Copies of this chain bind each other. A is one copy, B any other.
Amino acid sequence: MTASRNEKDVTIGELNRSKILRAAEEEFASHGYKGARVQQIADRAGLPKTNVLYYFKSKESLYLAILENIMRLWNSRFDEATVHDDPARVLAQYITDKMEISRSHANSSKIFALEIINGAPNLNDFFKDQHSKWMAGRVAVINEWIKAGKLKETNPYYLLYNIWGTSQHYADFSTQITELQGSSMGQKDFENATKNLIHLILTGCDLTVPAEFR
């Protein structure tokens, strides 16, 4: 341990915390919260278990820290869309953002999925305080688009579920996709899949795909 501060002005503590979080993401994605082992996280991080517990009080603290990061990840430009915006552009951008997250943060997506599938025991506050409000706001905007004749009549809830289901599928089921295609999806593949999805969803809503998303 030559110094707690290296040349990039990052402390050893920050480095190790980061290492542990990355290792924990992999372990939680592989075995779920209940099945994950602190010793395994430590092994993945290349640190002794008690060193992991020096930085994070418990397995649960670690998991909740990761969940918090994930919740922050879902923030997107879609959150600010209003009735004045063009639905085609907003939806295309949202899908693009979601697909990029699926590509660049596959483990986060997987952990979120695992948490929901397991009954979301750790997300009650998130749902009650933020998510439901967010949803109500987005549904309202979509309904305003419909009322303003900018979007064909549809159920806003189902529209959003379908966008989430498709975009998150590329992260969550990446193992299946890799097996079925014989190789994992690279950047180019994700770009193609994004275009394909934008085309499917927008055409399915009778919207024209904006030129920059083709």
Binding site for B on A (CB under 8 A): 29-36, 110, 113-114, 116-120, 127, 131-132, 135, 154-155, 157-159, 161-162, 164-170, 172-173, 175-177, 179-181, 192-193, 196-197, 199-206
- A120-B179 contact in complex given A34-B32, A35-B32, A199-B204, C-beta closer than 8 Å: yes
- Determine whether the beta carbon of A172 is less than 8 Å from that of B117: yes
When all copies of this chain in the complex are counted, the total is 2
In the complex, what residues of B have CB within 8 A of residue A110's CB?
Answer: 117
Starting from the known contacts A165-B169, A201-B204, A204-B204, 10 additional A-B residue pairs (CB-CB under 8 Å) come to A29-B118, A116-B176, A117-B172, A159-B196, A165-B168, A199-B204, A200-B200, A200-B201, A200-B204, A203-B203
**Interface residues of A, dominant DSSP:** helix
In the complex, what residues of B have CB within 8 A of residue A203's CB?
Answer: 203-206
- Determine whether the beta carbon of A158 is less than 8 Å from that of B118: no
- Determine whether the beta carbon of B29 is less than 8 Å from that of A32: no
Q: Among B114, B162, B166, B196, which residue has its beta carbon within 8 angstroms of that of A32?
A: B114
- A132-B34 contact in complex given A118-B29, A164-B169, A169-B164, C-beta closer than 8 Å: no
In the complex, what residues of B have CB within 8 A of residue A177's CB?
Answer: 157, 161
How far apart are A129's CB and chain B's nearest CB, in angstroms? 12
